Structure 1
Amino acid sequence: MKRAISAAVAAMTLAIPAMAETVDPNDVVYEEGAVTASLSGAPGNPEEGAKVISEKSVGNCVSCHQISAMPDVPFQGNVGPTLDGVADRWSEAEIRGIVANAKMTYDGTIMPSFYKTGDFIRPGVGFTSKPLAPEDVTPLLTAQQIEDVVAYLVTLKE
């Protein structure tokens, strides 16, 4: 009986992260640009965050930002600020807000909104020969990818 109870408790403990609630991009609460609550309800993985940041097929943050901790990643950009010491300049909530939608912190920034699905400015039919993008687009990154990126960025201290 004790084994059955132990097994049930272990199974429930392992299932808790799977039951975590993901915040819909339209329901993210920004407080002066910062997002205090996890978007995925699960902790971020810094190793996965480094992949998102450095891989062109995912986040490709290094195309605009430089990160000295990633010397093997070629062609780092200088359009955005260096991310060295980012965790000393901003809190985790501020970093999450900037990664999710930098336009909530910096009006007019060219940084893409990585966790946004609506309110896009779309060219009118008279300005493009291509079909308009669908109204319901998916975010560039998932909630968990945002949390992974944040987990990596909070490790970057001076």
Structure 2
Amino acid sequence: MLIPSAVALCATVAAAETVLPGDVTFADGAIEQPLTDGAGDPDRGKEIMTSRGKGNCIACHQVEALSEAPFHGEVGPPLDYVGEYRSAAELRGIVANAKMTFEGSVMPAFYKTSGFIRPGDAYTGDAAPADLPPILTAQEIEDVIAFLQTLKDG
């Protein structure tokens, strides 16, 4: 039997809003509004940062806090202390679509579904027949942001 507070919690979780990729609003590259109603989980964000099937952020960035993961890249800037000099809104904008902040960035847009130049359909060599799914979900973006915000001096 569910108690009333548990029912309210379940209703809140079921009603969580997600901002869809096409509805994201950028202001000077930043995204002020969280993409979900759920708080980001820094532990899950850490996993996404090192997961080759998801963010794989360390392929391009060095992150001392993730030193146990091999093969840190040098394409992007080191992310140590990024939580001190970037706000959550700035980080959210950069992770969702870095080109909105840094025009010539080679960083992929992790929360974008359309507007790509000649995206392929898997490994077929054909153009994608429709919008592509985002690389990360809205909640995964919030999880990565929660982790990045932990990267501070001391």
Scaled by the length of structure 2, the TM-score of the pair is 0.91
Aligned-partner Cα distance in 2 for 1:73–1:28: 32
Shift of 1:10: 2.6
Q: Does 2:141 match 1:146?
A: yes
Q: Which residue number corresponds to residue 101 of structure 1?
A: 97
Q: Give the number of aligned pairs.
A: 150
Render the CA deviation track for 1:97-150: whole Å, top value 9, x for unaligned. Answer: 100010110001000000001111117xxxxx8211223110000000000000
Q: SS at 2:111's partner residue?
A: coil
Q: SS at 1:114's partner residue?
A: coil
Q: Does 2:134 match 1:134?
A: no
**Greater Rg, structure 1 or structure 2?**
1
Q: Does 2:12 match 1:52?
A: no
Please, what is the CA RMSD of the aligned residues?
1.8
Aligned-partner Cα distance in 1 for 2:41–2:116: 30
Q: SS at 1:40's partner residue?
A: coil
1:142 corresponds to which letter in structure 2?
A: T
Aligned-partner Cα distance in 2 for 1:29–1:132: 27
Q: Which residue number corresponds to residue 71 of structure 2?
A: 75
Aligned-partner Cα distance in 2 for 1:55–1:101: 19
Q: SS at 1:29's partner residue?
A: coil
Within the candidate set 104, 114, 119, 2:115 is matched to 119
Shift of 1:41: 1.5
Aligned-partner Cα distance in 2 for 1:92–1:135: 31
Aligned-partner Cα distance in 2 for 1:64–1:16: 37
Shift of 1:76: 0.4
Q: SS at 2:64's partner residue?
A: coil
Q: Which residue number corresponds to residue 126 of structure 1?
A: none
Aligned-partner Cα distance in 2 for 1:30–1:150: 16
Gaps of 5+ in 2: none
Q: Which residue number corresponds to residue 36 of structure 1?
A: 32
Aligned-partner Cα distance in 1 for 2:101–2:71: 27
1:130 corresponds to which letter in structure 2?
A: G
Runs of 4+ with deviation above 3 angstroms: none
Q: SS at 1:96's partner residue?
A: helix
Shift of 1:65: 0.2
- Of all paired residues, the percent bearing the same amino acid is 49
1:77 corresponds to which letter in structure 2?
A: G
Q: Does 2:6 match 1:10?
A: yes
Gaps of 5+ in 1: 124-128
